[in-house]
Amino acid sequence: MNAHIAPVDQRESPLRSLLKALSWRIVATTTTALIAYFITGDVTLALSIGGIEFVLKFFIYYAHERVWQLVPRGSIRQLFRKRKTE
C-alpha cells in the first residue's frame, strides 16, 4: 500500500481537532489541578496551575493534531517495514 495523504473528506476537520483538544484538556487539567492541590494544599494555587496548563496545552495539542493531519497515512507503518527488510 502506498503512503498517501487521505482525501479531504476522510481527514479530521479543524473543529473536530478543537473539540478533541477541549475534551482532553478538561480531563487532563482536572487531574493536574487535583495533583497540585494534594501537593500544595492550596486551592487557589492548584486552580492557577490548572488554568495555565489548560491554556498552554490546549494550543499545543491542537497544533500537534493539525501537524499529524499532514503526515501521509500509512507512511509510519511503511517506514518500519522498510527498516525490517534492510
Residue 6's SS3 state is: coil
CB 33 within 8 A of CB 47: yes
Has residue 5 been placed in a domain?
A: no
Render pLDDT for 8-43 as a digit per residue (tens, 0 to 9): 667 788 888 888 888 988 999 999 999 999 999 999
- CA 83 to chain CA centroid, Å, is 27
Q: Cα–Cα distance between 3 and 59 in angstroms, integer?
A: 28
- Answer whether residue 28 is part of any domain: yes
Closest CA to 70 of 2, 23, 14, 1: 14
Within a domain: 40? yes
What is the number of domains present in the chain?
1
* Residue at 1 is within a domain: no
Q: Is residue 19 part of a domain?
A: yes
Parent domain of 71: 14-85
In a domain, 2, yes or no: no
Q: Sorting pLDDT into bands at 50, 70 and 90, what band is 1? A: very low
Task: Examine residue 69 and state whether it is found in any structural domain, yes or no.
Answer: yes
The predicted model scores a pTM of 0.61
